[in-house]
Structure 1
Amino acid sequence: MKTYEELLSDIEDDIELMGASHIVYSMEENNIITDYDYLPSDSCNISTTLKDLQENIRQQMLYAKVSGHLAAADKTAPKLAVIFPGIGYTADKPLLYYTSRLARKHGYQIQTVSYGTLPENIKGDSVKMRQAFDLALAQTEESLRDIDWTSYGSILFISKSIGTAISSAYAAQYNLNVKNILFTPLADTFSFPLQGSIAFHGTADPWAETAAIQTLAEQKEVPLFLTKNANHSLETGDIQTDLSILKTTMDRVERFII
């Protein structure tokens, strides 16, 4: 199997010859691109442009790097996953519920943060957004104050919306080495250190502009998984499409967790 560097080198050569929009066919194993060809075959059967293929492989390289963030963790020590909900997107909603189930499946204890009462109608209001962040961070510190972080071999943060900013701020404040799953992060989330993070964003998310999130994720070397036409909950409104999105998202999440 070719390395990511070899695949990217081949793609760059092909882009020079045929153009970035030229259609090729990729081979995938467990959602990982392993090769591509110019014509479809039994093994190379996923149609894509050279430009998209190049971007997907770059994301895979970042994903592999981030997934190894805690590679040296003590495998015999307990593992802890902390859920940082959004405002209105509670821990029993699909992205957080199924991610916590996967974490539990892989041996993590689960702790859920509760923020209490936060300002309403904060969208587009920077003052209220800052108030919500400060209150939620203070409540998080109170909720987690009795945890002995040094007793855990692996720490996983699972965060949604404003929770992505809270989790990232908390990890930086307490100098924690964590893996962090960022579901639909806000632009403000990227103002914090994000080593060991992966992010999921819908291109129809009214809370975060796609081009800005892509640029910020690239600057911080955060693997960013885009879902076309999905909103702030990674949903489109079509039930079957949304179930497919959830399945694909959880496949990527599980690869990151284990």
Structure 2
Amino acid sequence: MKMKLKKEQHNGIAYNYFDSTSDKVCFMFSGTGYTYEKPLLYYSTALMLELGYDVVQVCYTFDPQQFEQEPEAISEMVYNAANPIVNYILSTKSYTEAVYIGKSLGTLAIIDFYMQQPSLVPSRYVLLTPLLALEHIMQNLLEKQTFLAIGTADPHYSKERLEQLSSHELAIVENADHSLEIATNTVESIIICQSLLTALKAYLQ
């Protein structure tokens, strides 16, 4: 990426900040092992910069035993790590628009908190492989609008549950796993990444 990132820290949590001097901002929340160097998040970052957004990648880390909590507590844990950074960034500029992009673990805070509360600025939400198998996640997604991408080989994929989410922009990828890749087909995985980024760009424009 041509835009030089600044490695910052706020409230004890690290974050990467790409400042394109924009009045629009994108907050990114990674997965447990799916970090910002992985294809979908790397190219999502590049796309958001291409579309003229500042980008903030929240770099939280958690101990393995912290994932032994109930799902709602894990969601709150992620939110409590990310939200001080979100509030701080929103206080530094007069932003007119925000986009929240989450992958797996990162979608929890978006679905359970940011989508449920009044936003400081008009916001849109992008959910990459959300944990649809969790009942409270499904309940919090009903009657909402997002861009949602998931593969049919993802353990959290459910045709029945997705049919309940007709208000969402759905990108359902045949045979793709929880990384939105096909493990035995490298070229096809690259094509999937391209098609998802094309659909995401159309959704955001």
What TM-score range do you get, normalising by the shorter chain? 0.7 to 0.9
Alignment correspondent of 1:235: 181
Distance in structure 2 (CA, Å) of the matches to 1:236 and 1:111: 29
TM-score (norm 1): 0.62
Check whether the contact 1:82–1:158 (CA below 8 A) recurs between aligned residues: yes
Say whether residues 1:247 and 2:194 are aligned partners.
Answer: yes
> Partner of 1:94 in structure 2?
39
| Amino acid corresponding to residue 186 of structure 1 in structure 2 | L
1:154 to 97, 106, 113: 97
Unaligned runs of 5+ in 1: 1-76
Paired with 1:204 and 1:174, the residues of 2 have a C-alpha distance of 32
- Mapped contact 1:161–1:184 kept (Cα < 8 A): yes
Q: Give the CA deviation at 1:120.
A: 5.3
Give the counterpart of 2:26 among 56, 81, 100: 81
Aligned residues: 177
Deviation at 1:168, TM superposition (A): 2.6
Tell me which residue corresponds to 1:136: 78
Alpha-carbon spacing, 1:91–1:212, altered in 2? closer, same or farther (3 Å): farther
Q: Which has the larger radius of gyration?
A: 1
Q: Which of 92, 103, 106 pairs up with 2:51?
A: 106
- Secondary structure at the residue paired with 1:88? coil
- In the alignment, structure 2 segments of 5+ residues that lack a partner are 1-21
State the 1:196 CA deviation: 4.0
Task: Work out which of the residue numbers 165, 171, 196 in structure 1 matches 2:108.
Answer: 165
> 2: CA distance between counterparts of 1:120 and 1:224?
33
Question: Shift of residue 142 of structure 1?
Answer: 2.4
Post-superposition CA distance 1:143-178 (Å, at most 9, x none): 223133682122111111121121233323541231
**CA separation in 2, counterparts of 1:160 and 1:116?**
14
Once the 2 structures are TM-superposed, how far is the Cα of residue 186 of structure 1 from its aligned partner? 1.2
With the length of structure 2 as denominator, give the TM-score of the two structures: 0.76
Q: 3-state SS of the aligned residue for 1:145?
A: helix
Equivalent residue letter for 1:201: I
